[in-house]
Amino acid sequence: MPSTAIIDLSAIPEAQREAVAALLREHEELKGERVSLKEIIKRLEHLVAELNQAVHGKRSEKLSEDDRQLAFEDLEIAVAEAEEKQETQAPSESRPRRAARRNRGNLPKDLPRIERVIEPESLQCPCGCGEMHKIGEDRTERLDIVPAQLRVLVTVRPKYACRACTDGVTQASAPAHLIDGGLPTEGAIAHVLVSKYADHLPLYRQSRILARSGIEIHRSTLADWVGTAAFHLGPVVDRLAEHLKTSTKLFMDETTAPVLYPGRGRTKTGYLWALARDDRSWGGDDPPGVVFFYAPDRAGENAEKILHGFDGILQLDGYQGYNRLTRPTRKGGDPVRVAHCWAHARRKLKEVFDRDGSEIAAEGLRRIAEFYKIEADIRGAAPGQRLSARQARTAPLVVEFGEWLQQQRLRISAKSRLGEKLAYIHRHWDGLQTFLHDGRVEIDSNSVENLIRPIALNRKNALFAGHDEGGRAWGRIASLIETAKINGVEPFAYLKALLEAIAAGHPQGRIDELLPWNFNPSS
């Protein structure tokens, strides 16, 4: 059908004009869906090729059983997420029902059943014959997981019919579920997410734990649940990131996220970049939060892309990849103002002192300790009070430290281990003084380092992510879990309520209500 740009609707009879316009609109929509579906198919073909390589590749025998299990589950999460996107984008009237997954699990008869009977709003016959009578019911069973308790939720939907006529059958609609026709409740999915990304239990281990209770659910089935959830949680995480970037001061750090290198029998180094806000130390009104962005490398352009739209002060360590953010040529915003971390400066001197007991390093550590004593006194105070105290008490000490630093650099060889550490502090001297001029700025970036500690624990227990797509899902779900935790919200309760709200069709225009700091467990 020709494009709307070359059709003159005015030349078409008025009686047919509206119908032709509707057909043209439908044509344009189908063209857009076709492009989207082609992208999804290409991605799925790529994932299938990598899965085949992991199974049949020449070097796959070098992978241990644990390595293969981790590779498979992250690939299957990626496939499930892509399939969910394909189904979601398809028109509702033509959306095919998802085929039943293999090894969907069983529900032992000895598990407790909790029945919820959903009655129709009215039992009155539409024709006015009177009250309807029950003639049957539909029953569906889904696995629900409550921490330390397994149970089956049974949904009962009675059917009612009129005895006086054949037209009056009524039944309540089936409730919406995140996985339509699937086995798990939203609580069960939330439990799997928290177990994997907060409690550091890979899916194949969760499968074994369930098997001990008589629930035979394969790792691939759990991966399907996680992939579906990861897709639906994406808009909430994106909105969380948007909220953080409206702040005028943020923390940023990055940590390694080892990812399996398909076909090589080894891992490559990916990175999770943490963007965080934590104003609790000076009583800021904005709630704390963190978003983890996965990238396959540590290139500074990743930070530039992540921070698109952010203008303000960025607290970070001395990694040179961030330097591009301070240049006039920065893409996505004005040059950022950098606040460097005194904890990193202290750590450099501590490394030398621990190795050879250097008295110069010890003196530097004593001087920095004086800064931290003042910070302990003013923690929790308003920004104005913090700034006044720093100007009066800390600034003179920092000036003295700078003079001492230059004296030692003249005495110590720049090629020595201590000389390199002193040069590091000198290179970041301007950023190390930023906290003296803004009471909202911290003396170090320990806040964000504490937030990425669970990532390191997961890395230690799970060894690595099985795929780049697994790294992205890891970052997405960890963002919600860690933001919930630092806001005093129990992650399981939050994710359960969040998935239930998404399944029920929560309006996109009210997505802020789904952010962790807005969660109300009593609602």
What does DSSP assign to residue 126?
Answer: T
Residue 336 in contact with residue 307, Cβ under 8 Å? yes
Distance CA 424, CA 147 (A): 48
Long-range contacts of 375-379 (CB under 8 A, 24+ apart): 375/443, 379/281
Distance CA 1, CA 26 (A): 11
Look at residue 252 in the predicted model and tell me its pLDDT.
92
Tell me the residue length of the chain: 523
SS3 21: helix
Q: What is the DSSP string of 331-353?
A: TTSSPPEEEE-HHHHHHHHHHHH
Paired tokens of 305: 């892309």
- Nearest by Cα to 472 from 325, 306, 331: 306
Look at residue 67 in the predicted model and tell me its pLDDT.
58
SS3 482: helix
Look at residue 107 in the predicted model and tell me its pLDDT.
83
Residue 228 in contact with residue 178, Cβ under 8 Å? yes
Query: Residues in the chain with pLDDT < 70?
Result: 1-11, 14-15, 17, 44, 47-72, 89-105, 260-267, 454-468, 523
Residue 78 in contact with residue 469, Cβ under 8 Å? yes
Helix or strand run (H / E) with residue 256: strand 249-261
- Nearest by Cα to 91 from 26, 45, 24: 26
Look at residue 168 in the predicted model and tell me its pLDDT.
80
Burial 321-343 (b: 16+ CB within 10 A, else e): bbebbeeeebeeeeebbbbbbbb
Helix or strand run (H / E) with residue 221: helix 219-245
Q: What is the pTM of this model?
A: 0.76
Q: What is the DSSP string of 368-388?
A: HHHHHHHHHHHTTS-HHHHHH
